[in-house]
Amino acid sequence: MKELSVVVPIYNERDDLTRLIFAITGALDPHVEEYEIVLVNDGSTDGSGAQLDKLAESDAKLRVLHFERNCGQTAAIAAGLKVAEGRYVALMDGDLQTFPEDIVKLLPYMAEYDFANGTRVDRRDTLVKKVSSKVGNGVRNKITGDQIQDTGCPMKLFKREVAQSFNLYEGFHRFLPTLARMNGFSVIEVPVGHRERTAGKSKYGVLNRAFVGLMDAIVIGWLRKRTIRYQIRGD
């Protein structure tokens, strides 16, 4: 079994792909002996698919999945988790606003925890995105009954059994730490780096997430209250 799988959803990130792969391999090669990079092409229309195939031809660590059409971030993450072969699974976005080096930073936490969620410090986003993220996290926590500072941070690391426990529906990628806790796993939050986007453009605005995110939070809160918990008494 490989030690690590890095799952990256890709949607119209052609100009960043070579830099993305170099950044991940450069961060992991000195520290992780066996790993794979699972790149899920979520129906890109900018030539990302062909670029991914070209990169995979020269690097056996790369595995590329192509969706026939754009299905969204949750679907891309779910598909990547399904095929991941690593003992641990890392998630990150393809825009390189988070640092692949932080995967190495999160790995030691797997000795005591099942899920390490990144918390972006010194965020390099617009004021509107920072405020909306803070408000969104507060609302989600209030509704779900959880306490996650930055559930939207794309940098996450968790054990294989956590990945296998997820039953994801559209939008649930925003609640992975809460879902892990609901499934009985331990979660820790760890500060990670953040930087400005250097290529492409953000696929997700404030307004197109607010209402849907609120509805998703209500669903997660409802599910959390109905989670089945029991212990078998020993003989």
What is the full per-residue pLDDT of the chain (235 aa) written as tens digits?
899 999 999 999 999 999 999 999 999 999 999 999 999 999 999 999 999 999 999 999 999 999 999 999 999 999 999 999 999 999 999 988 999 999 999 999 999 999 999 998 876 554 445 444 554 555 555 555 566 768 788 999 999 999 999 999 898 898 899 899 889 999 999 999 977 655 555 555 444 555 566 667 777 777 776 777 767 887 5
Contacts of 91 (CB under 8 A, 6+ apart): 6, 7, 8, 77, 154, 155, 156, 157, 176
Of the candidate CATH numbers 3.40.50.620, 3.40.50.300, 3.90.550.10, 3.40.462.10, the domain formed by 2-225 belongs to: 3.90.550.10
In what helix (H) or strand (E) does residue 106 lie, and over which residues does it extend? Answer: helix 101-106
Q: Are 4 and 33 in contact (CB under 8 A)?
A: no
pTM: 0.83
Using alpha carbons, select from 83, 118, 141 the residue that is nearest to residue 188. Answer: 118
Q: Are 87 and 62 in contact (CB under 8 A)?
A: no
Provide φ and ψ at 207, rounded to 5°. Answer: -70, -35
Using CA atoms, how far apart are residues 104 and 127, in angstroms rounded to an integer? 29
Q: Are 175 and 209 in contact (CB under 8 A)?
A: no
**Which pLDDT value is given to residue 206?**
46
Q: Helix, strand, coil proportions of the chain in percent (round to 5)? A: 45, 20, 40
**Which pLDDT value is given to residue 27?**
97
Q: What is the dihedral of CA 47, 53, 55, 57, to 10 degrees?
A: -150
**Which pLDDT value is given to residue 106?**
97
